[in-house]
Copies of this chain bind each other. A is one copy, B any other.
Amino acid sequence: VSLEQLFHPRGVAVIGSTARGKLGYALIEQLLAGGFLAVYAINPKALGAMSAPGFSRLRDIPDPVDLAVIASPASTVAGVLEECGIAGIKAAVIITSGFSEAGNAAAEEEIKRIARDYGIRFVGPNCAGIVNTHHKLFPTLETRPPPGVTALVTQSGALGGAVLSWAQEQGLGFSKFASYGNGADLAETELLEYLADDPETEVVALYIESVRDGDRFRRAVHELTRIKPLVVIKAGRSQAGRRATLSHTGSMAGSDAVYDAVFRQSGAIRVANVEEMFDLCKGFVSLPPIPGRRLAIVTNSGGPGVLAADRAEVIGLKVVEPSADVKEKLARFLPGHGAFGNPIDLTVEGTEEGYRRTLLAMLEGESGYDAALAIDVGTPYLASLSLARGIVAAADATGKPLVANFMAGETVASSLPFLQEHGIPHFATGERAVTVLGRMVSYQEQKEGKRPLPEPAPPAVTLPPSPILEPQAMQWLAAQGIPVPPFRFAEDEFQALQACREIGYPVVMKVVSPQILHKSESGGVILSICDDEGAHNAYRSIRSRLPAALGVLIVPMIREGKEVLIGISCDPQFGPVVAFGLGGIYTEVWRDLSLRVAPVDLVEAREMICGISAYPILAGVRGEAASDLEALAEAIVTVSQLPFRAPEIEELDCNPVFVLPRGLLVGDVRIIPSKVEIPPIAQHP
């Protein structure tokens, strides 16, 4: 309800000086210019500005006011919020800066407390304001965008403002805009939750440097992307970028790879920069859903067609040859003896009618392509506008998604507004057009394959007492349903020999000691023990090197199967994360790892397995037997629930896991419990 008052207030009070050049004055000017007339100026001298009457206290305003826009000095904001509470105003936009971002965390805590006490919801402080074009509401200093169906939520006010300026230039309209600044109250997550249900918003764009409540954020994104696309820029990918983020917002940025995992799992589309965000919003706003990956390219010059086809392959679109059916249709009006490829180059002979008929033949009917890119490499001697007409006619007749790349400059200047008016998005290069289509298909696919987020299992088990030695860890893991090989713990040489015989040669002997972290490196692991003599020697070798050992663990020597690792670690923002990859140097050297926020379901686990580059090795290269990938997927699912079943787990490493032609076995496991309760992440140190 409070967000309703934020975006649909009956009246707006602007708190701050109305002297010319002051924030308060500028905000009133902008509100009035945007067409919102119920504006009231609040300042000690009760001075009005333009048509807005002035009052010295909020409670003096005779008309209903739902939103306070606060631009008065930082020291006054707490008092103003108190006043809002007394006057019954439940929503505020705090433009004023000088809070946690300037090291003044106490002042921010105070305004949070007051807002909580009075049930006030607010954006800011230190923000660039909000916009609701459909309510003619512009309490912001940024450019007023034209109305549209895209909403923009941004952690950086200035970047948001730049996007609005750009949008104005490019004709992209907005439904809502919210810059939440320090995010002391409302921030990315609640705004996304609101926008998911906002009937005026069809596409959401988000700029973040960090998130507050990781779990709620990813649930919000998951829900939102069931209904409408979310295009995200997450800054702070690099070391340098991260440093800047820290100093900018004073908040802690999670590992970038985990953010990637979150976006992938929850269905958001991550882009690298504002240009890509723009392109994608243009596509979503203008085009129908893209049913599949087969792309037709029609051009009047080979070069740009080839470049677009190159890009299509990278982004996962299929620039396949026309079917026999389509070729037959093309042959009715195109020269070329039926030898039509894709891209189709109509050459400089391409006319309005040529574009229209070619695109129709490519797109129409069941067997038609899923989408098309039409390129006009505008030259002074071609009538670009007539080609645009042909393209629009084809789009209208087929209802299929069609994008355009009209190059360049003056020669195509008249075509671009025509295309835009007729709902054909155009892009500066064919590569950018193709990138948009590829990402839109991926969104469509995730939407259609959407499943509920898997729920964490309830806490059910405790860990063995620390330090958790390998025998205890193996036993515990087996009890959780993860297969481990038979093993024996032996404290002396006699027991060890006995154990080796019971397990059956060949065996592996490993040191058991709470002091030894790197067993192999310290000579504590002996492989391929083949007989009693080997067992004697192995035991004595371990004892003499590592006299402090508690004993040895004996397991069968596993020689078949592929070695992989399944691990759990804890992300400060998003909690337990499950990782999968090939073991050993593979993962390290090639960084070839699938990462997901835990828990995952079977479908996600299968995608993790297919998602590593080394997947062909598991699937079986060169006629080798395939590994039991279904058992592997099940193990990943089980491991991903362990940190919830046993919340003491801080880290867990099954490495190696031997994936056999049938089933799997965990060769080694390490469990690190969280000794101390991790305190909640401080937002504003």
Give me the interface of A with B, judged by CB distance under 8 Å. 26, 128, 141-143, 154-159, 161-163, 165-169, 207, 209, 233, 235-241, 243-245, 247-249, 272-275, 297, 300-307, 309-314, 318-321, 339, 341-343, 345, 348, 377-381, 407-412, 428-429, 431-432, 521, 585, 588-590, 592, 613-614, 616-617, 621-623
Do B306 and A244 touch across chains, with their CB atoms under 8 A apart?
Answer: yes
Rank and list the top 3 A-B pairs by shortest CB-CB distance, nearest first.
A156-B303, A158-B301, A248-B302
Residues of B close to A162: CB separation below 8 A: 301, 304, 377-379, 407-408
Interchain nearest-CB distance for A666 vs B (Å): 22
B168, B241, B306, B314: the one contacting A313 at CB < 8 Å is: B241
A410-B168 contact in complex given A161-B377, A240-B319, C-beta closer than 8 Å = yes
Q: List 11 A-B contacts (CB under 8 A).
A: A143-B409, A162-B304, A162-B407, A163-B408, A165-B407, A209-B303, A233-B307, A236-B310, A241-B307, A249-B302, A589-B616
Complex contact B166–A407 (CB within 8 A): yes
Contact of B379 with A301 in the complex, beta carbons under 8 Å: no
Apart from A158-B348, A162-B408, A163-B408, 8 more pairs, CB < 8 Å: A155-B303, A161-B380, A209-B303, A238-B312, A238-B313, A241-B310, A244-B309, A245-B302
Cα of A617 to Cα of B274 in the assembled complex, Å: 38
Q: How far is the CA of A372 from the CA of B660 in the complex (A)?
A: 55
Q: Within the complex, what minimum Cβ distance (angstroms) separates A469 from chain B?
A: 24
The distance in angstroms between the C-alpha atoms of A514 and B623, with both chains bound, is: 23
Q: Is the CB of B306 within 8 A of A209?
A: yes
With a cutoff of 8 Å between Cβ atoms, the chain B residues found around residue A412 in the complex are 165
The residue from B169, B239, B248 contacting A410, defined by CB atoms under 8 A apart = B169
Check if B614 sits within 8 Å of A240, measured CB to CB: no
CB A564 to nearest CB in B, in angstroms, measures 14
User: Closest approach, in angstroms, between the C-beta of A362 and any C-beta of chain B?
Assistant: 14
**A339 nearest CB neighbor, chain B only:** B247
Which chain B residues border A244 with CB–CB below 8 Å? 297, 302, 305-306, 309, 341-343, 345
Q: Decide if B380 touches A309 in the complex (CB within 8 Å).
A: no
Q: A410 vs B237: C-alpha distance in the bound complex, in angstroms?
A: 30
State the Cβ distance, A343 to closest chain B Cβ, in Å: 5
The one of B158, B345, B381, B429 in contact with A377, judged by C-beta atoms closer than 8 angstroms, is: B158
B159 adjacent to A303 (CB under 8 Å): yes
As for how many copies of this chain the complex holds, the number is 2
Nearest CB of chain B from residue A69's CB, rounded to whole Å: 15
CA distance A307 to B533 in the complex (A): 63
- Check B410 against A165 for contact (C-beta < 8 Å): yes
Q: Evaluate contact between B273 and A307: CB separation under 8 angstroms.
A: yes
Q: How far is the CB of A372 from chain B (nearest CB, A)?
A: 14
With both beta carbons as reference points, the residue of chain B lying nearest to A308 in the complex is identified as B241
Residue of B nearest to A340 (CB): B247
Residues in chain B near residue A408, CB distance under 8 A: 162-163, 165-166, 169, 274
Contact of A312 among B240, B411, B588, B590 (CB under 8 A): B240
Q: Which residues of B contact A341 (CB under 8 A)?
A: 243-244, 247
Q: Is the CB of A311 within 8 A of B429?
A: no
Structural contact, B379 and A165, CB atoms closer than 8 A: yes
Closest residue on chain B to residue A238 by CB atoms = B313
* Residues of B with C-beta under 8 A to A300: 158
Q: Which residue of B lies closest to A321 (CB)?
A: B243
In the assembled complex, the Cα of A409 lies from the Cα of B378 at a distance in Å of 24
A165, A168, A621 interface centre (most CB from chain B within 10 Å): A165
On chain B, the residues within 8 Å of A378 by CB distance are: 162, 165
Determine how close the nearest CB of chain B comes to the CB of A614; give it in whole angstroms.
6
Cβ contact within 8 Å between A26 and B161: no
Known: A158-B348, A342-B244, A411-B143. A314 touches B165 (CB 8 A): no
Using Cβ atoms and an 8 Å threshold, which residues of chain B touch A588?
A: 616, 621
Are the C-beta atoms of B159 and A304 separated by less than 8 Å?
Answer: yes
A429-B273 in contact given A142-B379, A379-B158 (Cβ < 8 Å): yes
* A407 in contact with B143 given A244-B302, A244-B309 (CB within 8 Å): no
Q: Are A431 and B380 in contact (CB under 8 A)?
A: no
In whole Å, how far is A474's beta carbon from the nearest beta carbon of chain B? 24
Using Cβ atoms and an 8 Å threshold, which residues of chain B touch A159? 301, 303-304, 377, 407
Closest CB in chain B relative to A108 CB, distance in Å: 18
Partner of A614 from B141, B154, B590, B621 at Cβ < 8 Å: B590
Q: In the complex, which of the residues B272, B301, B343, B380 contacts A311, with contact meaning CB atoms closer than 8 Å?
A: B272
Most buried by B among A163, A304, A616: A304
| CB < 8 Å neighbour of A345 from B155, B247, B345, B407 | B247
Bound CA span A432–B429, Å: 15
B-side contacts of A428, CB under 8 Å: 275
User: Is there contact, CB below 8 Å, between B407 and A240?
Assistant: no
Chain B residues in 8 Å Cβ range of A589? 613-614, 616-617, 621
Name the distance in Å between A211's Cβ and chain B's nearest Cβ: 15
Q: Is the CB of B247 within 8 A of A207?
A: no
A155 to B303, CA, bound (A): 8
Contact A407 B274 (CB under 8 A): yes
CB contacts (< 8 Å) of A26 on chain B: these are 381
CB-CB under 8 A from A154, the residues of chain B are 303
Q: In the complex the two chains form, what is the Cα distance from A241 to B622 in whole Å?
A: 30
Q: Are B236 and A306 in contact (CB under 8 A)?
A: yes
A238 cross-chain contacts in B, Cβ below 8 A: 309-314, 319
Closest to A621 in B: B585
Distance between A379 CB and nearest chain B CB, rounded to angstroms = 4
Chain B residue at smallest Cβ distance from A317: B240
Residues of B near A273 (CB, < 8 A) are 307, 311, 429, 431
B313 touches A239 (CB 8 A): yes
Report B-chain residues with C-beta under 8 Å of the C-beta of A377.
158-159, 161-162
Q: What B residues does A169 contact at CB under 8 A?
A: 408-410
Knowing A158-B301, A273-B431, A343-B244, say if A141 contacts B410 (CB, 8 Å): no
A312 to B236, CA, bound (A): 12
Closest residue of chain B to A348 (Cβ to Cβ) is: B158
Give bound CA distance, A392 to B348, whole Å: 44
